[in-house]
A and B are shown apart, each in its own frame.
Chain A
Amino acid sequence: QSVLTQPPSVSGAPGQRVSISCTGSSSNIGAGYDVHWYQHLPGTAPKLLIYGNSNRPSGVPDRFSGSKSGTSASLAITGLQAEDEADYYCQSYDSSLSGSVFGGGTKLTVL
């Protein structure tokens, strides 16, 4: 079981908005550690999508946004496109494990 909890799958039609949740605990997200999000396509390197809860690296479209509150965080994708179909992972730091922790991943299907 992953330390951070994500829904296994979400789906949406092109142009719609979807949201992916990420729930942690008092030793990671709840302790104030930042949440980051990655997009992963099979056979490729994971790509940083959001860092520091809500910051986008250069080159990431503003259709992607992140937020954090308490022990949870979420990734929102607006104006869904076919190319957004991928696996999405949240990640934080856990003080009790002294290392990075990931969510189990959420598969986004664009209908």
Chain B
Amino acid sequence: EVQLVESGGGLVQPGGSLRLSCAASGFTFSSYSMNWVRQAPGKGLEWVSYISSSGGTIYYADSVKGRFTISRDNAKNSLYLQMNSLRDEDTAVYYCARVRSSSWYHDSWGQGTLVTVSS
């Protein structure tokens, strides 16, 4: 069974940093691209960042470009999101999701981890 478990969320002050992790199991992690997707309170889903299976191709949404860094460790079956210079508007539940690159859909999602940016 495919499992994705996010961790690392919490309360952080504006301008602060946080590192999210996503532990994958039940599939060959190194064969799949991954995304981070977030949902702010009362808002819809928003794509945040993409990383290819090897880590060689990375994309970011304009809203986080230059502040967030996506990475992965295929030996540890783990995906990461380093978030710096956090803003109030980054408050959201952050999901990691497995991507089917052939058609860019997300076939498995984690339960999410809540990031709250507030003073």
Which chain A residues have a beta carbon within 8 Å of chain B's beta carbons? 2, 33-34, 36, 38, 40, 44-48, 51-52, 57, 87, 89, 91-93, 97-105
Among B35-75, those with CB < 8 Å from A are: 35, 37, 44-47, 49-50, 59-62
Q: Give the nearest-CB partner of B61 in chain A.
A: A99
A97 — which chain B residues lie within 8 A by C-beta?
Answer: 61-62
Q: Shortest Cβ distance from B101 into chain A, in angstroms?
A: 10
Known A-B contacts A51-B103, A99-B61; the reply to A45 vs B45 at CB < 8 A is: no
Known A-B contacts A2-B44, A102-B44, A102-B46; the reply to A46 vs B109 at CB < 8 A is: yes
Majority DSSP secondary structure for residues of B touching A: strand
A36 — which chain B residues lie within 8 A by C-beta?
Answer: 103-106
**Could you tell me if B109 and A91 are in contact, using CB atoms closer than 8 angstroms?**
no
Q: Shortest Cβ distance from B52 into chain A, in angstroms?
A: 12
Give CA–CA (A48, B109) in the complex, Å: 9
Give CA–CA (A7, B45) in the complex, Å: 15
- Out of A33, A44, A100, name the residue touching B50 (CB < 8 Å): A100
A47 — which chain B residues lie within 8 A by C-beta?
Answer: 109
| B-side interface size class | 20 to 34
**Could you tell me if B103 and A100 are in contact, using CB atoms closer than 8 angstroms?**
no
**CB pairs A–B below 8 angstroms (23 shown):** A2-B44, A33-B104, A34-B105, A36-B105, A45-B110, A46-B95, A46-B109, A48-B105, A48-B107, A51-B100, A51-B107, A52-B103, A89-B45, A91-B105, A91-B106, A93-B104, A98-B59, A99-B47, A99-B60, A100-B37, A101-B47, A102-B45, A104-B44
